[in-house]
Amino acid sequence: MIASAHSADKKVFEISRMSNEVKELHSAFVDKRGRLMRLKKESYIESEMKKKGIEISLNPPIKIKVKSQEQ
């Protein structure tokens, strides 16, 4: 009977420890996801590229069409 109570206590502590670990991991996930969202924003990318001397082109991209050369 005593061994059963100790086993139950041990499991309760283990569940508590694992619950805390899950909460910490979820918090870290949310933080990383928020940081990723900021890094993906066009305004952030633009400001980082300006620091490196690269600016947004004022001319839109054009499509290059290549005609096949048959002999």
Compute the CA torsion angle 62, 52, 41, 60 (nearest 10 deg): -10
The predicted structure's pLDDT at residue 36: 96
Distance between CA atoms of 13 and 34, rounded to whole angstroms?
Answer: 32
Q: Where are the domains of the chain?
A: 2-51
Tens digit of pLDDT for each residue in 42-65?
999 999 999 999 998 889 989 999
Confidence label for 23 from pLDDT (cuts 50, 70 and 90):
very high
The mean pLDDT of the chain is 92
The predicted structure's pLDDT at residue 71: 59
